[in-house]
Amino acid sequence: MPGSGLWRTKGVEQSIADTDEPDTKLRKDLNAWDLTVFGVAVVIGAGIFTLAARTSGDIAGPGVTISFVLAAITCGLAALCYAEFASTVPVAGSAYTFSYATFGEFIAWILGWDLILEFALAAAVVGKGWSSYLQNVLEIAGIKAATTVSLFGLDFDWGAVLVVTALTVLLAVGTKLSSRVSLVITAIKVAVVLLVILVGFFYINTANYTPFIPPAAEAGSVAHAAGGLDQSLFSLIFGGSSSTYGLYGVFAAASIVFFAFIGFDIVATTAEETRNPQRDVPRGILGSLAVVTVLYIAVSLVVTGMRPYTALATKTGPDGKPIRSTLASAFSDVGVTWAASIIAIGALAGLTTVVMVLLLGQSRVLFAMSRDGLVPQGLAKTGKHGTPVRATLFVGGVVAIAAGFFDAGRLEEMVNVGTLFAFALVSAGVLVLRKTRPDLKRGFRTPWVPFVPIVAIVACLWLMLNLTALTWVRFGIWMLLGVVVYFVYGKHKSVLGRRDREAAAAAPVSKE
């Protein structure tokens, strides 16, 4: 039975029934292939082109390959739980919707607020990365044009705003069209990644793999050694001197390269737009994750084999700004400049689809929250193409402002902590729903319950502990802000709360 107040739950049947409302009905255009393309499109991006080289040099050494494996295992465990939920509750909103059916409205709001952090910040961060690669591609073409200019005394990244605006319009026009565009661009970037692996293989020097896990660096002994609030929370609590190299470094790097896997959960947000969600959503989630895991591990082995990890470490340029290693710079360092040019073009294409699918995921979460009244309901209106036009345009506007005017900094770590938090709750939700609603039809069942969900929760919490203490402080502030917004607005505007109040008012008063 639904609870009351903060813990009232929105039943699975009610969630599914709400998808038939004419004004907020999404068009069912997608199949398993479309979902797999979306998954691969969003996951292959910033991580494969930037994180492998930089994280190896700064944090883990060649052991970054182990970090990728640890992150992939965590994602795989969570993916099994997502697949069960998405096939059982085929409704837009992903983890937000799942939590509403299991933990109640307050936790659902917290998770929705968390997903807003994840998708919006990720889209802004990747948009700024796209802009920097655009500048590189323009230079390759002989055009010198900075994508960041001064505007009213502020740094304005017009490249990031350009890509966000164009993709927002594309998503508003139609999800199926977006999938077709994504398919073409994804094919290009997968071809580039395969080329990287093939060419890089011939430049591997096995001596660069030794030591595979470098000795832990003492805090302050190298420029990039992390200490204080900049070291991992686990290292800070248990007395590690730093999170650079050694086992602490491998674990900390796993929490960082986890950013490279973010996105497969967005497949779950499209469940309501899928023709056969019980069958196709699990295939899309697990299929996309399998493809990118193989590619990521291969690329990390290639890049750490081509260059010593010390050569991949972040350096300080003549202007005092950091110079971070990338996949392209690793190829340039061994003299394969033509490959570096192709990588820059592939990265530009790759980051395009990442931004697009992140915007898609954010708009669907906002759409679901709007339909439930926790944010203004006008955002749930769908247009003639069966897409949530208002929510899409609103999300695109906010992300464009963030990407255009704000420094990316360490926002990827904020994205990571938010995503891991969502993964842990979804995994716990599988346990709850198995117990409270064993009668529900499940198109996919997570194997070895309760073992898999419990291990998934532990793995997510472990990676969260290996993020920096400063990231936890920022995350805590964001979540406290979310609690305030819920009590000021969401709690009073909730559609489910209104239904409960109307039912209570209509109920006959007992006479004593």
H or E stretch covering 17:
helix 12-18
Task: Say which residues have a Cβ less than 8 Å from residue 182's Cβ, sequence separation at least 6.
Answer: 37, 38, 41, 353, 356, 357
Range with the largest mean pLDDT of 79-83, 136-140, 465-469, 504-508: 79-83
- Is the model's pLDDT at 262 over the cut of 80? no
- The pLDDT confidence band at residue 511, using thresholds 50, 70 and 90, is low
Q: What is the pLDDT of residue 412?
A: 63
Q: What is the mean pLDDT of the chain?
A: 84
Q: What is the pLDDT of residue 241?
A: 53
Tell me the C-alpha distance between 29 and 17, whole Å. 19
- Which structure tokens are listed for 178? 């977006």
Per-residue pLDDT tens digits for 326-356? 888 889 889 888 888 888 888 888 788 888 8
Tell me the C-alpha distance between 104 and 96, whole Å. 10
Q: What is the pLDDT of residue 223?
A: 40
Nearest to 410 by CA among 43, 58, 44, 38: 58
Side-chain half-sphere exposure of 242, counting CA atoms within 13 A = 19
Tell me the C-alpha distance between 7 and 104, whole Å. 4
How far, in whole angstroms, is CA 392 from its chain's centroid? Answer: 18
Side-chain half-sphere exposure of 265, counting CA atoms within 13 A = 36
Q: Is 479 or 243 the better-scoring residue by pLDDT?
A: 479
Q: What is the pLDDT of residue 219?
A: 43
Longest CA span, the chain: 90
Q: What is the pLDDT of residue 32?
A: 82
- Is the model's pLDDT at 512 over the cut of 60? no
Range with the largest mean pLDDT of 403-412, 467-476, 499-508: 467-476
The model's pTM is 0.82
Tell me if residue 24 falls in helix, strand or coil: helix
Mean pLDDT to the nearest integer, 243-261: 85
In contact, 300 and 56? CB cutoff 8 Å? yes
- Is the model's pLDDT at 228 over the cut of 60? no
Question: How much is the CA Rg of the chain, to the nearest whole Å?
Answer: 23
Q: Please report, for residues 1, 85, 119, 425, 502, the alpha-carbon distance to residue 431 in angstroms, rounded to integers and kept in the order given.
A: 17, 11, 26, 10, 32
- Residues of the chain by 3-state class (helix, strand, coil), percent to 5: 70, 5, 25
Tell me the C-alpha distance between 308 and 210, whole Å. 9
Q: What is the pLDDT of residue 243?
A: 64
- Helix count and strand count (H, E) for the chain: 21, 4
- Is the model's pLDDT at 224 over the cut of 70? no
Q: What is the pLDDT of residue 73?
A: 93
Range with the largest mean pLDDT of 172-186, 243-257, 266-280, 295-309: 295-309
Report DSSP letters for 218-272, one per residue. PTTSSTT---GGGSBHHHHHTT-S-SSSHHHHHHHHHHHHGGGGTTTTHHHHTGG
